[in-house]
């Protein structure tokens, strides 16, 4: 028998049939994944789709019900202790002490990671500077803005310079500008060699990831680089404007060639089967009695991929996804 091939050092995370049940509920369902060094990998999915459960299994905090994972060379289920020094985890909840100052919080986290005194001091100074927290160094964490607390949480998660960073819905509580700045910091970390796994339900956040997996009810519906997923959508996207969009939606949803329709502001975004010749004319013909309408074809976005891959408004989930 030939020996097993050596593990690929570029593979940071691999999972096979990873599953977690809570009683009768399957939170993560037979997920296979490979994540390589230097990637920002996103789990995109609605509430309850299994993103947090997936992350908790990959950090070694939660034991899988079935299947296995290998994270930075550590086999799970198994002894996850060696992972502690190699990973950082920024959870959804505010994970530091509100009545300690910023510096005290960082010092506390650094002690938990066992950083020696000198390195502790140096890292805290570096991170206060890097994350623009110098002015807040002696401020009580509970009195800071959401954006500042988010920076503190990120600083605490990277104190020990982890190779792999988990971020669970990191920007849910901040404004778009703060989110943009946060992502610039993530790309700095990636440039420094960190691999990042992030969960989100924001499309714009998912689009910044190198690759994503869309989860629904714990099942991985689709996986790939956002531009490839958009280019590979097996549907044409038609935007419809008009006065009677609710009626138009009812008519369109009843048609076999229409995979889904969703009202976005004053427009309907309609996914039409790719094998339907001339989809604009087809949609316009369906809407002949829905008042004056305009129909034009537009490029697919990640939300279209999401809708096609999940039950998010689609009549036949996954049929149109790449």
Ligand X SMILES: Nc1ncnc2c1ncn2[C@@H]1O[C@H](COP(=O)(O)OP(=O)(O)OP(=O)(O)O)[C@@H](O)[C@H]1O
Task: Count CB neighbours of 9 within 10 A.
Answer: 9
48 contributes a contact to ligand X by CB under 6 A: yes
15 contributes a contact to ligand X by CB under 6 A: no
63 contributes a contact to ligand X by CB under 6 A: no
42 contributes a contact to ligand X by CB under 6 A: no
Q: What are the angstrom distances between the C-alpha of 284 and each of 28, 235, 298?
A: 41, 17, 15
Q: Which of 25, 98, 111, 296 binds ligand X (CB under 6 A)?
A: 25
Q: State the nearest-atom distance from the C-beta of 53 to ligand X, in Å.
A: 3
180 contributes a contact to ligand X by CB under 6 A: no
27 contributes a contact to ligand X by CB under 6 A: yes
Of 46-54, 99-107, 253-261, 274-282: span binding ligand X (CB under 6 A): 46-54
Chain centre distance of CA 173: 15
Q: State the nearest-atom distance from the C-beta of 23 to ligand X, in Å.
A: 7
Q: Report the DSSP pairing between strands 195-200 and 40-44.
A: parallel
Residues 50, 215: Cα–Cα separation, whole Å: 7
Following CA atoms 89, 53, 175, 221 in sequence, which dihedral angle do they give, to the nearest 10 degrees? 130
Q: State the nearest-atom distance from the C-beta of 131 to ligand X, in Å.
A: 25
Q: Which of 13, 35, 44, 50 binds ligand X (CB under 6 A)?
A: 50
Q: Which of 15, 19, 49, 148 binds ligand X (CB under 6 A)?
A: 49
195 contributes a contact to ligand X by CB under 6 A: no
Q: State the nearest-atom distance from the C-beta of 265 to ligand X, in Å.
A: 25
Phi-psi region of 23 (alpha: psi -120 to 50; beta: other; left: phi over 0): left
51 contributes a contact to ligand X by CB under 6 A: yes
22 contributes a contact to ligand X by CB under 6 A: yes
Q: How many residues bind ligand X (CB under 6 A)?
A: 11
93 contributes a contact to ligand X by CB under 6 A: no
Nearer to ligand X, 27 or 35 (CB): 27
108 contributes a contact to ligand X by CB under 6 A: no
Q: At what angle do helices 245-253 and 279-286 cross, to 10 degrees?
A: 110
Q: Is 161 helix (H, G, I), strand (E, B) or coil?
A: coil
Q: Facing residues of 75 across strands?
A: 70
Taking Cα atoms as reference points, which of 17, 46, 47 lies closest to residue 32?
17
Residues 17, 8: Cα–Cα separation, whole Å: 19
Q: State the nearest-atom distance from the C-beta of 309 to ligand X, in Å.
A: 15
Q: Which of 5, 6, 47, 256 binds ligand X (CB under 6 A)?
A: 47
> Do residues 219 and 29 lie in contact, with contact meaning Cβ atoms separated by under 8 Å?
yes
Of 44-52, 76-84, 146-154, 242-250: span binding ligand X (CB under 6 A): 44-52
45 contributes a contact to ligand X by CB under 6 A: yes
State the maximum Cα–Cα separation within the chain, in Å, rounded to a whole number. 75
Phi, psi values for residue 194, rounded to 5°: -80, 145
121 contributes a contact to ligand X by CB under 6 A: no
Residues 46, 93: Cα–Cα separation, whole Å: 18
Task: Give the DSSP H or E segment for 128.
Answer: helix 117-130
Q: Which of 15, 19, 53, 260 binds ligand X (CB under 6 A)?
A: 53
Chain residues binding ligand X by CB under 6 A are 22, 25, 27, 45, 47-53
């Amino acid at each position: 028998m030939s020996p097993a091939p050596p593990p690929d050092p570029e593979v940071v995370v691999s999972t096979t049939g990873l599953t977690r049940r809570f009683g009768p509920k399957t939170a993560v369902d037979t997920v296979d994944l490979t994540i390589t060094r230097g990637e920002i990998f996103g789990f995109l999915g609605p509430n309850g789709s299994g993103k947090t459960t997936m992350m908790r299994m990959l950090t070694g905090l939660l034991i899988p019900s079935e299947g296995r994972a290998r994270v930075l060379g550590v086999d799970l289920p198994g002894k996850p202790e060696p992972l502690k020094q190699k990973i950082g985890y920024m959870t959804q909840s505010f994970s530091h002490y509100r009545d300690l100052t910023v510096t005290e919080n960082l010092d506390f986290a650094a002690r938990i990671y066992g950083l020696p005194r000198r390195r502790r001091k140096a890292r805290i100074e570096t991170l206060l500077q890097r994350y623009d927290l110098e002015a807040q160094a002696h401020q009580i964490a509970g009195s800071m803005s959401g954006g500042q607390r988010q920076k503190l949480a990120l600083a605490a998660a990277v104190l020990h310079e982890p190779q792999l960073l988990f971020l669970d819905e990191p920007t849910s509580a901040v404004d778009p500008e703060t989110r943009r700045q946060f992502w610039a910091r993530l790309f700095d970390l990636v440039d420094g060699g960190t691999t990042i796994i992030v969960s989100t339900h924001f499309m714009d956040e998912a689009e910044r990831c190198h690759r994503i997996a869309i989860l629904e009810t714990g099942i991985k519906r689709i996986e790939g680089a956002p531009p490839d997923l958009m280019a590979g959508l097996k549907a044409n996207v038609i935007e419809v404007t008009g006065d009677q969009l609710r009626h138009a939606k009812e008519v369109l949803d009843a048609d076999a060639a229409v995979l889904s329709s969703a009202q976005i502001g004053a427009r309907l975004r309609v996914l039409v089967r790719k094998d339907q010749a001339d989809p604009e004319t087809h949609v316009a013909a369906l809407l002949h009695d829905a008042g004056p309408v305009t129909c034009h074809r537009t490029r697919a976005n990640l939300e279209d991929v999401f809708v096609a891959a999940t039950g998010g408004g689609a009549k036949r989930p996954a049929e149109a996804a790449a």
